Amino acid sequence: MSYSEEIIVSKQAVPTFAVVILAIIFGFGLFLVGYDQGHLFSIIQGAEAFDDLFIHELTHDMRHAAGFPCH
């Protein structure tokens, strides 16, 4: 009676490029949720964006839940 066993070991390193892209996306998301006070929309909309605060209002509850200072 013969007994054979096969063990497959696959090693896959996480690509550094993917880590960098995800870190950039994370940083951008963190800025949007935690710190944006109209800065992003002011690029297109101008100073009026700082009064409208569209992204701030959109992420307001998430901002409070995450513990960022707001008001």
Among the residue ranges 1-9, 24-32, 36-44, 62-70, the one whose residues contact Zn ion (CB under 5 A):
62-70
* 28: its two tokens: 């951008």
Among the residue ranges 22-30, 33-41, 50-58, 63-71, the one whose residues contact Zn ion (CB under 5 A):
63-71
Q: Is 58 in the site for Zn ion (CB under 5 A)?
A: no
H helix and E strand count, the chain: 5, 0
Contact (Cβ atoms closer than 8 angstroms) between residue 21 and residue 27: no
Whole-number CA gyration radius for the chain: 23
The binding track of 12-51 with respect to Zn ion, each residue x by CB under 5 A or -, is: ----------------------------------------
